């Protein structure tokens, strides 16, 4: 039994042989592309399964508690596809958009989606501050995820505009989740969010503690946000 299958069960997932093969093929594409482009520092299959795939899947209980069929998820700053691609494999009925500012990473994401294949994935090349101003993208998502993209005040401005009222943001954070979230309280409220909970995540076979900061979208984001020209990063709310 693979470690991925075994540990994913702890998140309420019963991955099928087809899904496990998709994860394996994703891994092979990741290491192949990684020889030319820097996509990940982890290349050992066990480490990728634990620190990328399973870490990504740690939000599964939150998705399982709601509904995923036909729901839309936006992953901001997807990089090599974490957590968005992994969630798309685990939840084939979820419609997933992977947004990435770097062209070569966006091309990698598109290649993975076509080769596995995953019909529920769209890879988009762009910046969150610009993409969230497009009428078809704004307030269009039930779930918005992000891992290792920005500090929480900046991240709130990158993510909350994409969530519809009634939807939520799930921010993957490491040790400083409590402090970062407390510092971002005003930014989150300004953008129409309210912190629901900070879930402590313990990954199998790893000692470090991770967190999922869940922010409900309770009111529309005012039109002036997200601000353009690097303001969310350089002058966080």
- The one among 143, 158, 162, 225 contacting ligand SAM by CB under 6 A: 158
Residues 6+ apart with CB under 8 A from 198: 177, 178, 181, 211, 212, 213, 214
- 147, 144, 91, 80: which is closest to 118 by C-alpha? 91
Question: In which residue are the tokens 């790893």 written?
Answer: 206
Residues 2, 41, 128, 26, CA torsion sign = negative
Binding flag, residue 193, ligand SAM (CB under 6 A): no
Site for ligand SAM in 11-40 (CB under 6 A): none
Binding flag, residue 78, ligand SAM (CB under 6 A): yes
- The one among 72, 147, 211, 217 contacting ligand SAM by CB under 6 A: 147
CB of 125 to ligand SAM, least distance (A): 9
- 147, 165, 223, 159: which is closest to 188 by C-alpha? 159
Distances (CA, A) of 209 to 79, 155, 214: 22, 20, 16
CB of 100 to ligand SAM, least distance (A): 5
By C-beta, is 78 or 213 nearer to ligand SAM? Answer: 78
Binding flag, residue 100, ligand SAM (CB under 6 A): yes
Contact of 228 with 130, CB cutoff 8 Å:
yes
Binding flag, residue 102, ligand SAM (CB under 6 A): yes
* Cis omega (within 30 of 0) for bond into 17: no
Binding flag, residue 73, ligand SAM (CB under 6 A): no
Strand ordering across the sheet containing 95-100: 121-125, 95-100, 72-76, 141-147, 163-173, 209-217, 193-202
Binding flag, residue 212, ligand SAM (CB under 6 A): no
Range in contact with ligand SAM (rule: CB under 6 A) among 78-86, 108-116, 183-191, 197-205: 78-86
Binding flag, residue 144, ligand SAM (CB under 6 A): no
Torsions phi, psi for 135 (to 5 deg): -55, -35
Q: Which two tokens stand for residue 60?
A: 């599964």
Binding flag, residue 161, ligand SAM (CB under 6 A): no
CB of 1 to ligand SAM, least distance (A): 26
CB of 17 to ligand SAM, least distance (A): 26
Range in contact with ligand SAM (rule: CB under 6 A) among 4-12, 108-116, 121-129, 162-170: 121-129
Give residues in contact with ligand SAM (CB under 6 A).
76-80, 82, 99-102, 105, 127-129, 147-149, 158
């Amino acid at each position: 039994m693979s470690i991925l299958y075994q540990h994913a069960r702890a998140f309420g997932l019963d991955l099928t042989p087809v899904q496990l093969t998709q994860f394996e093929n994703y891994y092979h594409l990741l290491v192949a592309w990684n020889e030319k482009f820097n996509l990940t520092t982890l290349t050992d299959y066990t480490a990728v399964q634990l620190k990328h795939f399973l870490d990504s899947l740690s939000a599964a209980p939150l998705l399982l508690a709601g509904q995923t069929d036909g729901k839309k998820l936006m992953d901001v700053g997807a990089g090599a596809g974490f957590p968005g691609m992994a969630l798309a494999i685990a939840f084939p009925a979820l419609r997933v958009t992977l947004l990435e500012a770097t062209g070569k990473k966006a091309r990698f994401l598109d290649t993975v989606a076509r080769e596995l294949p995953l019909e529920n994935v769209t890879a988009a090349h762009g910046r969150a501050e610009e993409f969230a101003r497009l009428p078809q993208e704004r307030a269009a998502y039930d779930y918005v995820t992000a891992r290792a993209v920005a500090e929480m005040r900046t991240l709130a401005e990158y993510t909350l505009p994409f969530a519809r009222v009634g939807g939520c943001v799930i921010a993957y954070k490491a040790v400083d989740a409590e402090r970062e979230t407390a510092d971002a309280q005003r930014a989150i409220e300004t953008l129409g969010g309210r912190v629901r909970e900070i879930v402590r995540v313990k990954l199998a076979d790893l000692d470090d503690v991770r967190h999922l900061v869940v922010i409900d979208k309770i009111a529309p984001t005012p039109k002036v946000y997200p601000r353009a020209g690097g303001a969310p990063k350089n002058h966080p709310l």
